[in-house]
Structure 1
Amino acid sequence: MTTLTRDPARTTPSAPTRNYWLPRLGGPVWLVWRQHRAALWTLLGVTALGVLVMVHLRGQTMDFLATQEPTARRLGGMPPEFETHVDRLLGIAGYLGYLPALAGVFLGAPLIAGDLETGTAKLVTSQSVSRQRWLLTKLAVPAAVLTLSAGVLSAVLTWWWNPVKGLSGGLLWTAVFSSTGVVPVAYALLTFTVGVAAGLVLRRTLVSMVVTLGVVVAIGFVWSELWRSLGHIRSVSTHDGVGPGAVQPELPAQAEQQGQGTYFLTSSGDRLEWTTCLDQMEDDRAHTACLESHHVVGRTIDYLDLSQMQTMQWLGAGIMLAVTAAVAAFVILRGSKRLL
């Protein structure tokens, strides 16, 4: 007769290995991360790759600037080879401009619509977790990762742009306004929440993604048309006549001209379009006489200057975040009552 003994070392299950460098997740937070880990890890991976690329390209730009004389570091003073670095910076800024659309279409739209299609929402809400807590977690976890990614990418691009701004006409602050500072974060959060709302209402992932793409394009168009109105238009004028030797108004450094161009300024302070007396342009005397008959005493130009950039960015971001909060409130209220 043999006696069977049990080896505790073989029968006792080993404790699961845990990565202590990762934050410990539990409850709904763990579930949301588990559900969307592929998209969230992809977002973090793309962010890390983008940071590495920008740091490398910025290093090349700074090495190039180190070879230039200090007197050449001004608008129009850099050699043609510098435009390669300008194109790289603007290209990266352009790629960063796609982040809001990607956040809305691929992260926001499937977030709840996918759960409604697969029945996961019904399963989760039948547990002890309330609908409101589940919805808040569904919004908060991706929004936190998106905020981190957009904030890091924007900060690195701003770090790259700061030492070279003003060295080329293509590097005006208006060219990177929507890709630097706080704007990319607020913009991405807005499109993400809009995508979530579309998924909650339409309840179909593919349809929600298509509709979200259309809404995001519309938001981008409205933003491109209106963001300059967040600033205060300023003017620079001359009052020494309009003859052949008259001095033209000179814009401050890094200022962007607004409006139709140079306006004529009358003695009463009124403005006339640049097309005034256009028929006499070929004859300097006739042109000058025509303008004097309209009491023109100089020229004026409208512009937006660099000093307003941060104020405009925060104002625009504030508007976007207010809309984001309203859309998020709609998602939570509607989802709490009519989720299934």
Structure 2
Amino acid sequence: MTTTVSPASSPVPAASPAPEAGRGGFRPRGFVWLVLRQHRPTLVALALLLVAELVQLALLGYLLRKDADVRALADLCAGDARECAERWSPAADFRAGYGDALHFNGLLVQYVPLLAGLFTAGPMVARELESGTWRLAWTQSLPPARWLAAKLAVPAVLVLVGVSLMSALYTWCWTAVPTELLPGQRWYDSFEMLGPMPVANALCGVAFGALAALATRRTVPAMAVTLVGYGAVRSVLGYVRPHLWPPTRTVSLGMPGYPNDGTWVLGRGMLTRSGERISDDACGIGVSPERCLASHNADRWYLDHHPPGDHWPLAWLEAGVLAALTAVAAWAALRWVRHVVP
């Protein structure tokens, strides 16, 4: 985009007059307004896609609840929902009709944060550094930190508004029926799609995208670094997630089975008289539980798990970790921007 500027002594708002707050209400001013004008076609397209997705999620949630009531699934599957879905044709039809729709909408909610990070890294920040148009803002008496803050304000607001609405509507859809009726939708399988996680992931992606752009100053490398860095953060958090909140341990004399109530099983095995844990994999194939206990000098079985009630403590704790990482990345980006000028 070509922008006509006034002499260097004039601030950016004077170079391109910003809309004032008038009868129509408050409007953005200054450099934020320029950023919106610069990326207007992309932002309009994203806004239209967001509205379409929100309408689609609202319709999906309405149909899920209405169809579940018509089929009386709450009464039909009051016991074991998984067995109900396999044995009763109304539940099986419901599962076949809505399973894919909920699954693919969940994938969209899960990967929108990565797209936000890539958009920030490439078109928002790195492209200006690569083309040299950042000099236009900095020669207009606009400090580097303010330039970066204005650049990040747009994707941050989009994330807080758009991703929050998407996450809220998807969570509403997800809670319409027992998750056992919809394959692959257990809470620990859908963790990054529910509650605060999409918003926390998206804000982290925006901050990491800005940091990657400042570090590389090239559009494609910045997006590549953001992709790798975001993937590394998600992998590490996925590994430590079970340990963010203390799991529940059930001890029994008999070998425990795997619950069908949405419990996230972390491990099962034997406890020796000294308290040592031995995985049930050590038993081998075809060995009875009693013989396995005797051969390992054990006298009890254990089951480490997170019940469904642990979902929200785990989600908010992980979101807090992501908020801390976002703050660190944003602080590092604001420090780094001072060294971008050659």
Question: What TM-score does the superposition give when structure 2 sets the normalisation length?
Answer: 0.81
Q: In the TM superposition, what are the counterparts of 1:136-155 in structure 2 within 5 Å?
A: 136-155=149-168
The offset of 1:337, in angstroms, is 4.2
Question: Does the aligned pair in 1 maintain the 2:109–2:193 contact within 8 Å?
Answer: yes
1:178 aligns with 2:192: yes
Counting only pairs closer than 5 Å after superposition, residues 52-71 of structure 1 correspond to structure 2 as 52-69=55-72, 70-71=74-75
- Checking the alignment, whether the CA contact within 8 Å between 2:121 and 2:222 is kept in structure 1 is no
C-alpha contact (below 8 Å) 1:105/1:213 kept by paired residues: yes
Q: Contact conserved, 2:120 with 2:152, CA < 8 A, in 1?
A: no
Q: Which runs of 4+ in 1 moved over 6 A?
A: none
Bigger CA drift: 147-156 or 132-141? 132-141
Pick closer, same or farther for the CA change 1:237–1:200 going to 2, 3 Å.
Answer: same
In structure 2, the residue corresponding to 1:97 is in which secondary structure?
helix
User: Mean alpha-carbon deviation: is it higher for 137-146 or for 216-225?
Assistant: 216-225
Partner AA of 2:196 in structure 1: V
SS at match of 1:172: coil
Gaps of 5+ in 1: 1-15, 243-247
1:203 pairs with 2:205: no
Spell out the pairing of 1:98-247 with structure 2 (5 A cutoff): 98-168=111-181, 170-239=184-253, 241=254
Shift of 1:19: 10
Structure 2, unpaired ranges of 5+: 1-18, 86-90
In 2, the alpha carbon distance for the partners of 1:215 and 1:264 equals 39
Give a deviation string over 1:211-242, Cα, whole Å, max 9, x none: 22222232332233232222222122322x56
Q: Deviation digits for residues 262-300 of structure 1, max 9, x if unmatched?
A: 31344554433324553762xx6xx73563465544432
Cα distance in 2 between the residues matched to 1:110 and 1:56: 33
Q: Label 1:155 to 1:290 Cα distance change in 2 as closer, same or farther (>3 A).
A: closer
Asked whether the equivalents of residues 110 and 199 of structure 1 are also in contact (C-alpha less than 8 Å), the reply is: no
Displacement of 1:21 in angstroms is: 5.5
Give the Cα separation in 2 of the matches to 1:320 and 1:127. Answer: 35
The alpha-carbon deviation at position 20 of structure 1 amounts to: 6.3
Q: Cα distance 1:271–1:333, how it changes in 2: closer, same or farther (>3 A)?
A: closer
Match of 1:331 in 2: 333
TM-aligned CA distance change 1:138 to 1:89, over 3 Å: same
Q: How does 1:311-330 map to 2 (within 5 A)?
A: 311-330=313-332
Q: Contact between 1:236 and 1:251, CA under 8 Å: does it hold in 2? A: no
Q: Point out the more displaced range, 290-299 or 230-239.
A: 290-299
Q: Distance in 1 between matches of 2:220 and 2:115?
A: 14
In structure 1, the residue matched to 2:105 is: 92
Mapped partners of 1:280, 1:114: distance in 2: 62
Letter in 2 for 1:338: V
Q: Structure 1 residue 68: deviation in Å?
A: 2.5
Going from structure 1 to structure 2, the CA distance change for 1:29 and 1:161 (only over 3 Å counts) comes to same
TM-score, with normalisation over the residues of structure 1?
A: 0.82
Q: Which amino acid aligns with 1:82?
A: F
Alpha carbons 2:116, 2:155 under 8 Å: kept: no
- CA gap 1:21/1:56 in 2 versus in 1, 3 angstroms: farther
Superposed CA RMSD? 2.7
Counterpart of 2:303 in structure 1 is 301
Aligned residue pairs, count = 313
Partner of 2:261: 253
Shift of the 230–38 alpha-carbon distance from structure 1 to 2, 3 Å rule, reads farther
| Alpha-carbon distance change, 139 to 339 in structure 1, aligned in 2, over 3 angstroms | farther
Letter in 2 for 1:142: P
The answer to whether the 8 Å contact 2:121/2:219 transfers is no
